[in-house]
Structure 1
Amino acid sequence: MGILSNIEPKEVFYYFEELSRVPRKTFYTKKASDFCVEFAKTHHLEYVQDEVNNVIIKKPGTPGYENSEPVILQGHLDMVAVKTPESTHDFENDPLDLFVEDGMIGAKNTSLGGDDGIAIAFAMAILASDNIPHPPIEAIFTTDEEIGMYGAYAIDLSELKGKKCLNIDSEIEGVLTVGCAGGFVYDTYIPVEWSEEDGVEITLSINGLQGGHSGAEIQKQRGNAHKIMGRVLNSLANTYDFNLLSTDGGSAANVIAQNNQTVIVAETEQAEAIVNAVSALKEEISAEFLGSEPDFILTATIGESKTVKAFDADSTSRVITYLYGAPNGVQCYDRTFPSNVETSLNTGIVETSDNTVRVRFQVRSSLKSKLEDMKNVMNMWCELVGASYELSGEYPGWSFYPDSTLRPLMIKIYSDMFGTEPTVETTHGGLECGILIDKKADLDIVSFGPNLPDVHSVKERLDIASTARSWEYLKAVLKACK
């Protein structure tokens, strides 16, 4: 018996729990891909598994639907892998440790992978069923969506017959997503020169921030640990003389950074004053959040006095300048959908190596011209601090399709079922839909899903009641596609 065995809809939560036993962080999806293949074999379904571990599974239509146009169900296998600082979870080998609390499903000390495990569970429950009316099903399970959407770029859709595509990768029930922003990952490499410095090591640590999805929650103005650390270091540098030894933190480009640990070396006689200054900054910054970051922690811990290898003064200055000054967060709101973010960027990862400090951003915009503008802005900042850069994971936006036949069908079904019209909107988050349409231009796509608060964080939850309603909605949409 599993943790979710007695929760309805049992068929959905059975597959969600089974998938949660399979490690599937981004770039480590072979086990999850093989899990899907074994599922297809067990149910005697046609399947294709490609070289990057994408899986397509096909199922004939049920009686009366045999000659209907196929419907595509699409989701991604990988998950954002984040955990609490004290967690020993190994995302390459360990199953998730699920729990149920207050009508929600979570995972102990880690992200849950409801984004996008619930899509896989919904699709498998349909594929395994023998009593749910549906047209022929073409289920697409892509890999490595969370960093670069590499699975969607690699997948071959040439043999698919379906035009209606249900992308189950949205996180708010009652919202039909019909467009999304494009984006890219931007890596800055700030060169570091080293020098020997005498003094006391002081470790500055930021923890306890809420974090979250940089597409879905960037507008909530949650604290970013790297930007806060940049502010702390800049403030200290105005009064005290110190050198950086390292600065590290964050879990992914598209996750609002929850932690940063930076080590400095300062004159011994200034150590206590620095600790006191950091304490005062902690109170100041906490007050600015007006209670929205209740668990925010900023500490300074004095270590040993010794001779250490540290960044030289120029490298220290350039790293602090970049962390403090480089843009972050919402840059502009959408003039067509004023409540939506148009352009943003997130400082996701900071990492010190032998000769560089790498700063990784996720940049997003619904306008191609603004994406180009953000590249120019980021390039300018690299020039200012003598850094180099790399672009990766670039993906196109998904434009609103005014002639959709799927969208009005789904609006009517939702209204009939729940007595209210769904919200129809575009999202600032990145979806694979634009890439899929580039490969198969006749696709008519709508994205939906159950409530999944706080994705890409250890607070990620899957709403059980919302999942049940979304399951009934999915079945009703499939039934209507005769």
Structure 2
Amino acid sequence: MSVLSEIEPKEVFRFFEEISAIPRGSMDTKRISDYLVKFAKDRDLKVIQDEVNNVIIFQPGTEGYEDSEPVILQGHMDMVCEKTSDSDHDFKKDGLKLYVEDGYLKAKDTTLGGDDGIAVAMALTLMDSNDIPHPPVEVVFTVDEELGMDGAEAIDLSVLKGKKLINIDSEEERTLTVGCAGGVRYQSLIPVEKETVSGEKIEIQIKGLLGGHSGEEIHRQRGNANKMMGRLLYHMESKAEIYLSEIYGGSKDNVIAMEAVASIVVAENDAEKIVSMIRDMEAIWNTEFMGEEPGLTVNVQTTKEKDIEVFSKDTTKRVVGFLAACPNGLQEYSRKVAGAAETSLNLGTVEMKENGVEAAFLIRSSVDSRKQQILEQVDAVTKAFGGTGTISSTYPAWQYNPDSQLRPIMEAAYKEVYKKDPEICIIHGGLECGLFLGKRPDLDCVSCGPDVLDIHSFNERLDIASTQRSWEFLKLVLKNCK
């Protein structure tokens, strides 16, 4: 039975419900890509599916618009897969469990995929209709945006004739986005040596943090479980001899880490002191966050262990020191736009590998030299603690175009629908427009979308009324692109 059948706009939410039944996490996009191809073929629309599963669908203009210049609509088909620690949802097999609450669309215990499923649903609704006036549209659905914009990197845009590109991947209805930060990924690897000890094993779990998108939410100074664990371990290591036996945290480098786990071994006569220090730090965090991390919980479990394999004393010091010393969070505000984030980085994941402990960072900046500065800073800290680094997934900033022809059309439509002017903004999160402009410098790009809150977290929710207004706005923009 449909959950969303009575929600307006009905057709948009019908398609959103359909795609929500298809697992579509990053690197698992074949099924949703094939769904889009079938959609096009069922309607006799020209479609291209490339080797990485990007899809482009072409639809002619409606009556009176047949000879108009095509407009490109664009969104990504993959979603971030996050869930609560007690959820049994399998993102490889299960569709999302959608429900409506207090005017928002949500998914039970998981991310919703409003980022960027709403773009897919709106584009499908447009192409499924015969009575929405619009010029020819070239609809670009990319894959793996959330992992580093790999689909946008691979796609061939030479098949497109349009120059005006509407990206439907913004999450604030009040804004039209006309630029974004660039980014680069960095993986630190701290080598590990092991030994065997006996003592009291203490398992520590930091959980319940709000997390969120590492670009859109970084200025909110939300707790990062990986950095918090580094702080706690360093504090304990300064007061007692500890040996790490296990450490991991976070799920993706573009998600602020909501959980982290570490296991340490200490002398039995130090165990009570260490547990007390953990409880003290939990109280300190609650004071520092001033109620802004209401779900924060630190779980502790102790067991006696004999001859357990642990990191050596030197390795423990290096891993703990690295986690405590590495930079994280907002680094610079914009000097041009008051209150806007310019440069940041996120320690997204910490994992144990065969050859060491790996920490993954996503660095963002709208200023290339600042991005390079933070990259060198992380590299310097990594090397200072005996590690090595790997750079990947560099993507450019999207620079503001003062001569845009699309922006005035969208501003006028916005004012007609909302009876006020939109905010014109440059965002800190990454959008695929920068990569598209690298391939097609003649493109004229603007990004828009309805309100989607707490993306990249299991608290993600889509504002239903905002979606209806955004749909009316998009239809008017297309009607005016004649």
Matched with 2:142 is 142
Cα distance in 2 between the residues matched to 1:272 and 1:305 = 15
The superposition leaves residues 380-432 of structure 1 with CA deviations (integer Å, 9 ceiling, x where unpaired) of 11110010111111111100000001111111111122111000010000000
One-letter amino acid matched to 2:472:
E
Cα distance in 2 between the residues matched to 1:410 and 1:474 = 9
The superposition leaves residues 266-288 of structure 1 with CA deviations (integer Å, 9 ceiling, x where unpaired) of 11121111111100110011100
Matched with 1:291 is 291
Contact 2:74 2:166 in 1 (8 A): yes
Cα distance in 2 between the residues matched to 1:456 and 1:32 = 19
Matched with 1:389 is 389
Contact 1:202 1:264 in 2 (8 A): yes
Matched with 1:109 is 109
Contact 2:417 2:472 in 1 (8 A): no
Matched with 2:360 is 360
One-letter amino acid matched to 2:133:
P
Matched with 1:455 is 455
Cα distance in 2 between the residues matched to 1:64 and 1:428 = 39
How far is 1:291 from its partner?
0.5
How far is 1:298 from its partner?
1.4
One-letter amino acid matched to 2:383:
E
Matched with 1:236 is 236
One-letter amino acid matched to 1:158:
S
One-letter amino acid matched to 1:391:
I
Cα distance in 2 between the residues matched to 1:383 and 1:48 = 46
Matched with 2:133 is 133
How far is 1:375 from its partner?
1.6
Matched with 2:436 is 436
Cα distance in 2 between the residues matched to 1:144 and 1:428 = 19
How far is 1:318 from its partner?
0.5
Matched with 2:281 is 281
One-letter amino acid matched to 2:311:
F
Matched with 1:86 is 86
The superposition leaves residues 36-83 of structure 1 with CA deviations (integer Å, 9 ceiling, x where unpaired) of 001111111100000000000000000000000001000001111111
Cα distance in 2 between the residues matched to 1:227 and 1:174 = 33
- Aligned with 1:188: secondary structure? strand
Matched with 2:408 is 408
Matched with 2:203 is 203
- Aligned with 1:253: secondary structure? coil
Matches of residues 29-44 of structure 1 in structure 2 within 5 Å?
29-44=29-44
Whether 1:350 aligns to 2:344 is: no
Cα distance in 2 between the residues matched to 1:96 and 1:35 = 16
How far is 1:94 from its partner?
1.1
One-letter amino acid matched to 2:393:
G
One-letter amino acid matched to 1:139:
V
The superposition leaves residues 204-249 of structure 1 with CA deviations (integer Å, 9 ceiling, x where unpaired) of 1100000000100000000000111111001101111110001111
Gaps of 5+ in 2: none
Following TM superposition, where does structure 1 have runs of at least 4 consecutive aligned residues deviating by more than 3 angstroms? none
Matched with 2:119 is 119
Contact 1:268 1:305 in 2 (8 A): no
Cα distance in 2 between the residues matched to 1:84 and 1:249 = 14
Matched with 2:317 is 317
Matched with 1:151 is 151
Matched with 2:47 is 47
TM-score of the superposed pair, with normalisation by structure 1: 0.99
TM-score of the superposed pair, with normalisation by structure 2: 0.99
Cα distance in 1 between the residues matched to 2:31 and 2:223 = 35
Cα distance in 2 between the residues matched to 1:356 and 1:2 = 48
Gaps of 5+ in 1: none
- Aligned with 1:124: secondary structure? helix
Identity %: 50
Contact 1:234 1:324 in 2 (8 A): yes
Contact 1:406 1:444 in 2 (8 A): yes
Matched with 1:12 is 12
* Most deviating of 348-357 and 123-132: 348-357
Contact 2:138 2:162 in 1 (8 A): yes
Contact 2:182 2:366 in 1 (8 A): yes
How far is 1:338 from its partner?
2.1
- Aligned with 2:271: secondary structure? helix
* C-alpha RMSD of the superposition: 0.8
Cα distance in 2 between the residues matched to 1:38 and 1:93 = 20
- Aligned with 1:381: secondary structure? helix
Matched with 2:258 is 258
Contact 1:52 1:154 in 2 (8 A): yes
One-letter amino acid matched to 1:204:
I
Contact 2:254 2:362 in 1 (8 A): yes
One-letter amino acid matched to 2:13:
F
Contact 1:275 1:301 in 2 (8 A): no
Contact 1:12 1:121 in 2 (8 A): yes
Contact 2:202 2:300 in 1 (8 A): yes
- Aligned with 2:94: secondary structure? coil
Contact 1:26 1:80 in 2 (8 A): yes
